[in-house]
A = this chain, B = another copy of it.
Amino acid sequence: MNIGDVADLSGLPAKTIRYYEDIGLVEPLRSANGYRSFRQSDVHKLAFLGRARALGFTIEDCRSLLKLYADTDRASAEVKQIAEEHLDRIDRKIAELTEMRATLSHLVDACAGDHRPNCPILADLAME
């Protein structure tokens, strides 16, 4: 299969698939004409990557997850640890954003948003 078909099947842009080969996440074969030739297993791997990335795992997480997936002797504890660390990252990020949101929405509510220059948002940023 050529890269365009794989892009359609996996939902990943061709550019991204080439990038994933670059950094060693997939190793498609090559046809005589130099085109990448993807096996069914490559397509499967790329779909796996797409879903892992959609869950926010980093590329390095994905690399580890793929390795664990390929290792039938893995301990599920290893997978779970990666996922739990990622869950923590997400929770911290949500907490950070939620705090920003609270402050910001408070300021937005306080701002008249009309033609006059007086503005509590700027006042807060300037610590006036």
| A interface with B by C-beta (< 8 Å) | 44, 47-48, 51-52, 54-56, 65, 68-69, 71-77, 79-81, 83-84, 86-87, 90-91, 93-94, 97-98, 100-101, 103-105, 107-108, 111-119, 121-122, 124-127
Contact = CB atoms under 8 A, between A and B. Distances in A.
B75 A104 contact: no
B80 A119 contact: yes
Contact of A118 (B76, B116, B121): B76
Count the copies.
2
Chain A contact residues: over half helix, strand or loop, or mixed?
Answer: helix
- Residue in A44, A55, A91 with the greatest tally of chain B CB atoms within 10 Å: A55
29 contacts: A48-B125, A48-B126, A48-B127, A52-B125, A54-B100, A55-B125, A56-B97, A56-B104, A69-B126, A73-B117, A76-B111, A76-B114, A76-B115, A76-B118, A76-B119, A79-B111, A80-B108, A80-B119, A80-B121, A83-B104, A83-B121, A84-B108, A87-B101, A90-B101, A90-B104, A94-B94, A94-B97, A94-B98, A94-B101
